[in-house]
Amino acid sequence: MRLRNIKGARERIADSSFTIDEPLNCKGKWKEIFGNDNPVRIEVGTGKGRFIMDLAEANPDVNYVGIEKYSSVLLRAIQKQEERELTNVRFIRMEAEIISEVFDKEEVDRIYLNFSDPWPKERHAQRRLTSSSFLRRYDEILKKDGQLEFKTDNKDLFDFSLMELNTAGWHAEAVTFDLHNDRVMNEGNIMTEYEERFSAKGNPIFKYIIKR
């Protein structure tokens, strides 16, 4: 997907009170940043922010951090947050590769990955956010009983993601190849913009919930 560059997006994001401008200074300090002892949950690849803000609104006793590397996309999330002004959401513009430099050991209790870039070429496999190399990064910051939830409409990416679990020492708690027709796993499901669009075309949505 080609992203349209928005002039001044980085500056506008940096100026927002809902943005963490220096994330490398946040490691081990997230309770202080939010001003409470509530659990911290993160979405890697937060896009335009609908999913994480709907979650935050439904769970005011949980703190949420949305991570997105594309400024023009994250700006849309910031604009939505400026309208909703949810006190339990913050955003970071950064690459996911440095996640263990931003969150401390066991500082996060849940991670969400939604419709991540499939990086279809085999030589780019370890760039996929569900690859064993990324699972090892998540292992560094997730609580011992924490979990990761992943949704996609890309069957090849989902198959790859399932195969990576054993390599990285994770196991699936729940798996579905058709989320919206799975009564148990679809209960309480919050859709992303992509999910709504893809499912409207009749595409099945794949999801897993995994732990170590």
Annotated catalytic residue, options 117, 139, 145, 182: 117
26 contacts 102 by C-beta, under 8 angstroms: yes
Q: Is-catalytic flag, 117?
A: yes
User: Which residues, in sequence order, are CB contacts of 141 under 8 Å at separation 6+?
Assistant: 99, 100, 103, 104, 105, 106, 107, 108
Three-state secondary structure readout of 25-60: HCCCCHHHHHCCCCCEEEEECCCCCHHHHHHHHHCC
Which of 175, 167, 122 shows the shortest CA–CA distance to 148? 175
CA dihedral (129, 131, 134, 140) in degrees, to 10, reads 130
63-68 sheet: strands from edge to edge? 89-93, 63-68, 40-44, 108-114, 142-152, 206-211, 171-176
Q: Active-site positions?
A: 117
